[in-house]
């Protein structure tokens, strides 16, 4: 059916040209929500009505007349109908639907994957400063970011996963002083405990290992402790390496590996920040006012111009209030005597992405970064007139709330003040965390129900999908045990697949490649989770309606071929989300 769709899209494009509207609208089909409306639907007649100055139904009839003369339509389509204000509904021949089974079996794990296109994408996500364990926001970013990477890889892109963090500045200084306080025998609540210190149990663990002179190694750094309580810089470096290692363990538990780590401090040590400021001044888009240096970001659609470098007075106030909201807009570099605001190194970082040769850069961040989008894009455009419009792309997500035993969980013994990624994995499973955190649109708040994630029934969405895969594996195993040849299913007589539940399942399989393409272009990995639930639903309905191991060997092989194609598609889609496809699952018995 994939070939049938491609042939029919080409035929529709020809028909659009024949009615005098070439290039006015792109040929496209939709999948009707109701079977009564056909197998494919087209709205192009309503799009063409105004430019052609005709009634939509009149345009639809002209398109149908042109389509009926096309060989692809004669080969694949049973009927063409006009519905409502100008919809064109297509009813496909059985052979068009049945063809998808052979297409899936032939492609295997490549089903839905596109050829390499020679383009490179950089996806930056998680990007947590090493001041504590990864929290729920990082967990959602990990699920979203990795799924986006896999989606772009499915579309032929070469993808780099990048983790950006700061190993110096106010937050890291607070971390070092917190560990030092523990080394001095202090604990949270003591009179001399620093007010801004981190209170989690992990601080005590870092102090104990530092005192013992241990060596820690993370993916991108390592350090051996001196054990000297007065060695504040050594404490800082050890604590950063320790927490980066802890983050690596969290990410390993999540099944995620980053290709590259980028240090914010490197933007200063390499001179990139100063160079960026010089380029922005040279662009003519900056000006001095009230002792501060401003960038005309309003020239690029921002709601107001942005400060690049604060006045000496404002910088002094901000430095005094470092660590509070008043100081949050200043760069966190300790050696930054110029007191650049945060968006300056952000611009420098994204210019570096361009210079590294990436065709697309995608940032997965929390919703609190919404205000940075316009200013970063403006800075990139001002510094590089050849930068692609809208560079970089952003996917922002909202908060996650955790419920357990009917109550919200807010604290973690490990972190001290928040629930961590490792908590979620320990309480449920990697599969549940990945699927749940991708199962809603990123810009909607999400409640993670721990009790639901542990259920082994249809209420649990990840179990519902995985159980479909396991059910198919069970039937195919029975077929094999009875002497059936799974390798021969590709030659089954697919014309025998005529039941309504079979047609619905085959149509859903055929949607998979287009769904992947659309999800990648829209930065919508939740579409994969939606698709999987729909596909599992179609399968479970089929499983309830038909039998598979029959006396009619030909029909049995045809149905087993459809099951094998469904299993492969579920496996492929789960892999995009980083979720396993188990061959066996035990289902909870229904309570009566």
Q: What is the pLDDT of residues 462-518, one digit of tens each?
A: 999 999 999 999 999 999 999 999 999 999 999 999 999 999 999 999 999 999 999
Last residue of a domain, one of 333, 363, 397: 397
Q: Check: CB of residue 473 under 8 Å from CB of residue 584.
A: yes
**Is residue 363, in this structure, part of any structural domain at all?**
yes
CATH code of the domain in which 10 resides? 3.30.1360.70
Provide the pairing of β-strand 360-366 with 393-397: parallel
Phi then psi for 498, rounded to 5 degrees?
Answer: -125, -5
* pLDDT in the model for residue 322: 44
Assigned token pair, 119: 């383009």
**Is residue 337, in this structure, part of any structural domain at all?**
yes
**Is residue 187, in this structure, part of any structural domain at all?**
no
pLDDT band at 590 (very low <50, low <70, confident <90, very high): low
Q: What DSSP designation does 93 have?
A: -
**Is residue 503, in this structure, part of any structural domain at all?**
no
If you average pLDDT over every residue of the chain, what do you get? 91
Last residue of a domain, one of 397, 430, 460: 397
Provide the pairing of β-strand 158-165 with 360-366: unpaired
Reduce the DSSP state of residue 207 to 3 states and report it: helix
Instruction: Tell me the average pLDDT across 318-330.
Output: 43
Domain containing 76 equals: 2-92
Q: Check: CB of residue 189 under 8 Å from CB of residue 416.
A: no
**Is residue 38, in this structure, part of any structural domain at all?**
yes
pLDDT band at 225 (very low <50, low <70, confident <90, very high): very high
The model's pLDDT over 167-217, given as tens digits with 9 standing for 90+, comes to 878 889 999 999 999 999 999 999 999 999 998 889 999 999 999 999 999
pLDDT band at 23 (very low <50, low <70, confident <90, very high): confident
Instruction: Tell me the average pLDDT across 100-118.
Output: 96
Last residue of a domain, one of 379, 397, 415: 397
State the residue for tokens 């049938």. Answer: 4
pLDDT band at 314 (very low <50, low <70, confident <90, very high): low
pLDDT band at 319 (very low <50, low <70, confident <90, very high): very low
**Is residue 46, in this structure, part of any structural domain at all?**
yes
CATH code of the domain in which 391 resides? 3.40.50.620
Q: Check: CB of residue 1 under 8 Å from CB of residue 77.
A: no
Q: State the CB neighbour count (10 A cutoff) for residue 386.
A: 6
* pLDDT in the model for residue 327: 38
* Percent of the chain scoring above 70 in pLDDT: 94
* pLDDT in the model for residue 329: 55
* pLDDT above 90 for 338: no
Tell me how far apart the alpha carbons of residues 552 and 19 are, in angstroms, rounded to a whole number: 49
pLDDT band at 337 (very low <50, low <70, confident <90, very high): very low
* pLDDT in the model for residue 589: 65
Instruction: Tell me the average pLDDT across 239-246.
Output: 95
* pLDDT above 50 for 324: no
Reduce the DSSP state of residue 293 to 3 states and report it: strand
Tell me how far apart the alpha carbons of residues 152 and 517 are, in angstroms, rounded to a whole number: 8
The model's pLDDT over 37-50, given as tens digits with 9 standing for 90+, comes to 888 999 999 999 99
With 0-12 / 13-18 / 19 or more C-beta atoms within 10 angstroms meaning exposed / middle / buried, residue 13 is: middle
Beta strands in 54-141 (DSSP E): 77-83, 87-92, 120-124
* pLDDT in the model for residue 32: 86
Instruction: Tell me the average pLDDT across 396-418.
Output: 81
Concatenated DSSP letters of 519-571: HHHTT-THHHHHHHHHHHHHHHHHHHH---S-S-HHHHHHHHHHHHHHHHHHH
* pLDDT in the model for residue 321: 46
pTM for this entry: 0.89
The model's pLDDT over 522-562, given as tens digits with 9 standing for 90+, comes to 999 999 999 999 999 999 999 999 999 999 999 999 999 99
Instruction: Tell me the average pLDDT across 225-248.
Output: 96
Q: Check: CB of residue 258 under 8 Å from CB of residue 580.
A: no
* pLDDT above 90 for 122: yes
Number of domains in the chain: 2
pLDDT band at 236 (very low <50, low <70, confident <90, very high): very high
Q: Check: CB of residue 458 under 8 Å from CB of residue 570.
A: no
* pLDDT in the model for residue 398: 95
């Amino acid at each position: 059916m994939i070939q049938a769709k491609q042939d029919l899209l080409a035929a529709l494009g020809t028909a659009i040209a024949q009615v005098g509207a070439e290039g006015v609208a792109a040929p496209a089909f939709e999948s009707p929500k109701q079977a009564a409306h056909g197998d494919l639907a087209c709205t192009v007649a309503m799009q063409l009505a105004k430019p052609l100055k005709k009634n939509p139904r009149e345009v639809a009839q002209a398109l149908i007349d042109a389509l009926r003369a096309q060989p692809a339509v004669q080969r694949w389509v049973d009927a063409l109908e006009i519905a409502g204000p100008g919809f064109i509904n297509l009813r496909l021949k059985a052979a068009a639907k049945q063809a998808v089974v052979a297409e899936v079996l032939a492609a295997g794990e490549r089903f839905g994957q596109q050829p390499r296109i020679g383009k490179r994408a950089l996806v930056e996500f998680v990007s947590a400063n090493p001041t504590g364990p990864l929290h729920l926001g990082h967990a959602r970013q990990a699920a979203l970011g990795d799924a986006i990477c896999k989606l772009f890889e499915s579309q032929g892109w070469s993808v780099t996963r990048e983790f950006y963090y700061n190993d110096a500045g106010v937050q890291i200084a607070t971390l070092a002083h917190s560990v030092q306080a523990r080394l001095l025998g202090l604990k949270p609540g003591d009179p001399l405990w620093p007010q801004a210190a981190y209170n989690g149990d992990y601080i005590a663990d870092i102090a104990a290992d530092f005192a013992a002179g241990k060596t820690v190694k993370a993916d991108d750094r390592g350090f051996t402790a001196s054990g000297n309580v007065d060695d504040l810089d050594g404490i800082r470096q050890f604590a950063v390496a320790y927490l980066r290692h802890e983050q690596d363990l969290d990410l390993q538990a999540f099944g995620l590996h980053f290709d590259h780590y980028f240090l914010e401090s490197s933007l200063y040590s390499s001179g990139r920040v100063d160079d960026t400021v010089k380029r922005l001044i040279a662009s003519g888009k900056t000006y001095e006012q009230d002792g501060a240096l401003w960038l005309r970001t309003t020239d690029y659609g921002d709601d107001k111009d942005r400060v690049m470098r604060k006045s000496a007075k404002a910088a002094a106030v901000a430095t005094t209030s470092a660590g509070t909201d008043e100081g949050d807009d200043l760069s966190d570099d300790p050696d930054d005597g110029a007191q650049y605001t945060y968006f300056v190194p952000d611009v420098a970082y994204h210019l570096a992405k361009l210079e590294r040769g990436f065709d697309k850069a995608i940032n997965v961040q929390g919703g609190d970064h919404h205000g940075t989008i316009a200013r970063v894009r403006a800075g990139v455009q001002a510094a590089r007139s050849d930068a692609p419009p809208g560079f970089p792309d952003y996917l922002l997500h909202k908060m996650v709330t955790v419920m357990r035993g009917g109550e919200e969980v807010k604290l973690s013994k490990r972190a001290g003040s928040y629930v961590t990624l490792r908590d979620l994995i320990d309480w449920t499973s990697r599969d549940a965390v990945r699927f749940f955190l991708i199962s809603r649109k990123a810009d909607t708040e999400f409640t993670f129900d721990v009790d639901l994630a542990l259920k082994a029934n249809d209420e649990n969405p990840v179990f519902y999908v995985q159980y479909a895969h396991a059910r198919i594996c069970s039937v195919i195993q029975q077929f094999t045990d009875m002497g059936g040849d799974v390798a021969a299913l590709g030659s089954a007589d697919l014309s025998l697949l005529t039941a309504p539940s079979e047609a619905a399942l085959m149509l859903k399989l055929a949607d998979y490649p287009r769904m992947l393409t659309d999800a990648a272009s829209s930065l919508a990995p939740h579409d994969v989770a939606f698709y999987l639930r729909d596909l599992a639903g179609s399968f479970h309905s089929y499983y309830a309606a038909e039998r598979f191991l029959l006396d009619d060997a030909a029909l049995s092989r045809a149905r087993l071929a459809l099951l094998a194609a469904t299993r492969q598609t579920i496996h492929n889609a789960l892999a995009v989300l980083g979720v396993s496809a188990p061959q066996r699952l035990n289902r909870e018995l229904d309570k009566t």
